[in-house]
Chain A
């Protein structure tokens, strides 16, 4: 088994560092076992906010207790936190009809029901125009399979009258799911938003007294187990409507990670990433880099590579070739099948094949001097 140092060095050498760092950044921490990394992430958060809070405010909606969060659900806005179970907040709240009491006390019950009802009316109006297709429900918090139920409900309460508690709760559940950014079919009046923000404290008290261990509340000094490491560092949500926002923030975060010397810890975390069946969660280039890294760590006596770097860009391909030369030249046997000829300069023997036969053989310099088929190919001419 190679040492951790060897693994990290190989990852860097084959150009996998940024990919694995990214896997680490978008993963969640197990707080029972990863306390040290959690502390490191909280330090990164402080450094990030110190350095970028102002400059990146255009691209990030920070978790501010006194602001409504347009990039989070209504449920998260009310709780100003997340369930520890990892479930979305709206799902966790939907299981607690006891919340009607506090919503009523806070004067939020009626607005929530009106919001839910309005969502249903808008969604049904939209779906009248198209055949039932979930695709057209992207801007609504309603699921396709719920449409008939809510359609009936809307008919039942089209005029002025009383609402049964069960039906009332159905509308509230939709309001919990509503996320202003994801569901632009409804825009919340600013007075509603202000009211939600003002109600947070009381709502939290109710939750803490009824379900003391089920939710974690957002606080600048607390790690949020529900969120990825990336989101914990930026302490907010990327405003995805800004083109290039995610990349700009990620660049700033990675630069900071390097400055603060946290790169190794996060790459180690990224190494836990589950690559899927036969690596189907990896890109073609990533799969090739992983295969090459594995081979380099094994240090085989004979290495056979069949277009092993074909999915990589030119720079990465050359970098890996240089690495193979440096590590294996004169020590191991490397047999490579290639089409990109820039990578063959350092091989002792080059065999040029045409129609299944070897038509030329020699070192790079010999074949170039010969000015034959290889020379023509190398110059970019077809033979």
Chain B
């Protein structure tokens, strides 16, 4: 028996190509500062390593002090970042689509400094430390770039936190 690739099969192939999740992931990664400079061919590899995770409203993506080994990019929804103390909690930041967070855990087995809570139903691209590590063995320059972004983010959060504490001292 033989089979001929025809116009119809070419049309179907085009449909496959236009709906590929990986291409959607690549588009999202290109919007993220940490990954924007990665060449497109490497970005496609990285895009296959991210999986999609959904979080229902009010659930936690991770909690402060958790050992959670993932990095997250928001596709849909709003995530709030909280720092908890014994008697109070501060909402430090609201993250929206295309924001990348939690990336420090991609480099080391650390406890979370903050909690991340889904303020709405949230869909994220998620990658774990081991997968990211395997990727950076092939593409070490990406690790440097991501690390730089994460350090900037932590510094910004610490800055915000310090400001809050100063305000607290003045008024209490």
Give me the interface of A with B, judged by CB distance under 8 Å: 58, 100, 104, 109-111, 113-115, 117-118, 122, 125-126, 128-131, 133, 135-136, 138-139, 157, 160-165, 168, 184-189, 191-192, 241-244
Contacts and interface: CB of A to CB of B under 8 A. Distances in A.
A114 B9 contact: yes
B116 to A, nearest CB: 11
B16 A126 contact: no
6 A-B pairs closest in CB distance: A184-B21, A187-B19, A162-B2, A189-B15, A163-B3, A139-B48
B107 interface: no
Contact of B49 (A115, A138, A161): A138
Given A130-B138, A241-B53, A243-B54, 9 more contacts: A110-B3, A111-B9, A126-B44, A129-B45, A160-B4, A162-B3, A165-B1, A186-B16, A187-B20
B16 A163 contact: no
Interface stretch (B55-63, B142-150, B159-167): B55-63
B42 interface: yes
Contact count band on B = 20 to 34
A281 B19 CA distance: 41
Interface of B: 1-6, 8-9, 12-13, 15-17, 19-22, 41-42, 44-45, 48-49, 51-56, 59, 61, 131, 134, 138
B26 to A, nearest CB: 11
Nearest to B7: A160
A129 B53 contact: no
Contacts of B52: 184, 241
Contacts of B21: 184-185, 187
Given A129-B42, A133-B134, A161 B22 contact: no
A184 B2 CA distance: 30
A186 B20 contact: yes
A110 B138 CA distance: 37
Contact of B44 (A129, A131, A191, A192): A129
A377 to B, nearest CB: 26
A160 B3 CA distance: 10
A287 B52 CA distance: 35
A243 B55 contact: yes
Contacts of B61: 243
B20 A161 contact: no
B41 A157 contact: no
Nearest to B15: A189
